[in-house]
A and B are shown apart, each in its own frame.
Chain A
Amino acid sequence: MEHIEDIEKPFRTQELTISMGPQHPATHGVLRLVLNLSGENVVKCTPYVGYLHRGIEKLGENRTYFSALPLSDRLDYIASMNNNVGYVNAVEKLFGIEVPERAKFIRTMVAEMGRISSHIVWLGTHILDIGATTPFLHSMAQRERLLDLFEILCGARLTVSYPRIGGVRNDVSQEFLDKLYEFVLEFPSNMDNYETLVTENRIWKHRTVGIGVISAEEAINWGLTGGTLRGSGVDYDVRKYAPYDAYDKVEFDIPVGKNGDCYDRYLVRVGELRQANRIIKQCIENLPAGPIMSDVPKLTLPPKDMVMKDMEHLIHQFILITKGPSVPEGEVYMGTEAPKGELGFYFVSDGTGKPYRMRVRAPSFVHASVLPRLCEGGLVADVIANIGTIDIVLGECDR
């Protein structure tokens, strides 16, 4: 009889504090979340970042504009091409130099390749986190094809450092264009395959619809950008609002969500994959002929074959590499649309060859800060969905 009395007593409950990460497969890197749980419900969520802090801003202040470019590869290491494009665009704005048309188209093309390779990793891992294992390897196979293309283009697969201040490093080969075109033609049907697996899947919808809702005003107030903001119904895209490179010469739409939940953010990114593919196709078809580097003697590196032949170019090369370019005094902020959101570079120049201050506005940093807002009041399982859907990379967050 005593046992029955025991059972009838109310259960003793207590708040549980658990540490999720920094080594957790679903946190997409070294993100640590301290969760206060009451049963399955998240009462409080505190993110801790900084495990991957390498001091890129401090390092950038101590290098010339040319040698700080490879640092930008190490920000969002899944889409290093987009970081390079963001970096060189900001520096070009500071220098006040114009880039040849062909270089602009090549940059747009490779940046969209970077966007696909980033989004496709997001697609695979996000779906895997939630429980659908099939699309992961298929999407990784697509990424592999893009990385092979990067290898043909510039020899590197991950940390590419392909764009240069004033243009791009080398011209694209016909082999590269042919293989890329083949990829572009096949890609939409591949996307259809992945979408058949998840988009209308009942389990998938149960896990994502109405989870982590954030309204448009609130999302802007939090400083969200990229797919995370567009999921809430704001059509803010740097490529449309302040076009750089060749984005004003190609046609593309901005997918926009309605409800601001995980499902809408998923739909927006899937739409972006298709749009990126469309941009690449147009870039290949309309690629203009002409030079790939602008020739501004004291600001851009001279062509290599001229350095070997001509005294003056050799002197320019020597001075640019040892002392850095002669930059006017001033400050410039330039935002570009990276796969994760608005990637901004803010340069302050004091007239020397090194930036006085190099500031990186990392979208992942802002997106990580919104996690408590999305997770608190939800379930533990939804934390995983939220982390996946805001699409953060800790290399960029911690810099």
Chain B
Amino acid sequence: MEPLEIVEKIKEIFPAELLDTKEFRGQVSITLGKSRILEICGYLRDKPDLHFDYLVDLCGMDYLGKKEVRFEVVYNLYSMKHRHRIRLKAEVSGDGPAIDSVTPVWRGADWHEREVYDMFGIVFNGHPDLRRVLMPENWEGHPLRKDYPLKGPEKEWQGFIEVLDKAERFREFEWHD
């Protein structure tokens, strides 16, 4: 199915949710509100002529100072059967960012959502195990946010301080005794 036909289908069922459609280099992205995202994803997977069974990728976006709504969660979907793809983008506001988890629809969303939580601080409601995945548990801040510095944290990470302490203690060890 052509991407624009898919957009029409979504428009029919969820008219209030569809905010914007953009096409670039033959790829269509749809901007949606976040409130019914789980329902929309379930519809896209289960409708036989859409059949988006494969969640290619799920990632976060930070439009700090560029757009009114700060965050977006991007879903790249593909159908193995019909070989068509679509990109969904759900807007998530900047204060207390939270959105429904799509793990009930695609099991593979599990770690992707953990990564978005880790990197952007977006909370996924209904996620089975929402922890940081790449950064250490006690890390402060969310690295892929645009206001997170690329270099030079003012405070060293606690885990690294412990490693340095340990190295210092072993240096003092008298090996000759």
Contacts and interface: CB of A to CB of B under 8 A. Distances in A.
Interface of A: 49-50, 53, 55, 57-59, 62, 93-94, 96, 217-218, 220-224, 234, 236, 241, 328, 330-333, 335, 342, 344, 346, 348, 350, 357, 359, 361, 365-366, 368-370, 373, 398-399
B54 A223 contact: yes
A348 B60 CA distance: 12
Q: Kindly state the interface size class of chain B when it binds its partner.
A: 35 or more
B57 A346 contact: yes
B108 A332 contact: no
Which residue of A241, A361, A368 has the most chain B CB atoms within 10 A of its CB atom? A361
Contacts of B66: 350
A248 to B, nearest CB: 15
Contacts of B55: 223
B74 interface: yes
B7 to A, nearest CB: 16
A399 B143 CA distance: 13
B150 A62 contact: yes
Contacts of A94: 25
Given A220-B53, A223-B56, A331 B29 contact: yes
Given A50-B135, A62-B150, A350-B66, A366 B111 contact: yes
B134 A241 contact: no
Contacts of B76: 333, 344, 346, 361
B158 interface: no
Contacts of A55: 143
Given A350-B66, A366-B108, A342 B56 contact: yes
Contacts of B62: 357
Given A234-B80, A241-B83, A332 B25 contact: yes
Contacts of B17: none
A359 B59 contact: yes
B114 to A, nearest CB: 9
Given A62-B150, A223-B55, A344-B76, A333 B27 contact: yes
Interface of B: 22, 24-25, 27, 29, 53-57, 59, 61-62, 66, 74, 76, 80, 83, 87, 106-112, 115, 119, 132-136, 143-144, 148, 150
Given A94-B25, A234-B80, 14 more contacts: A58-B143, A58-B150, A93-B25, A96-B25, A220-B53, A221-B53, A221-B106, A223-B56, A241-B83, A330-B24, A333-B57, A346-B74, A361-B57, A368-B111
Contact of A344 (B57, B109, B136, B150): B57
A333 B26 CA distance: 11
A365 B135 contact: no
Given A49-B133, A58-B150, A348-B61, A222 B29 contact: no
Nearest to A332: B25
A373 B103 CA distance: 14
Nearest to A94: B25
B78 to A, nearest CB: 8
A221 B56 contact: no
Contacts of B80: 220, 234, 236
Contacts of B134: 49-50, 53, 398-399
B24 A50 contact: no
A397 B127 CA distance: 21
A357 B61 contact: yes
23 contacts: A49-B133, A50-B135, A55-B143, A57-B119, A58-B143, A58-B144, A58-B148, A221-B53, A221-B108, A222-B107, A222-B108, A223-B54, A223-B55, A224-B108, A236-B54, A331-B27, A331-B87, A332-B24, A333-B87, A344-B76, A346-B76, A357-B62, A361-B76
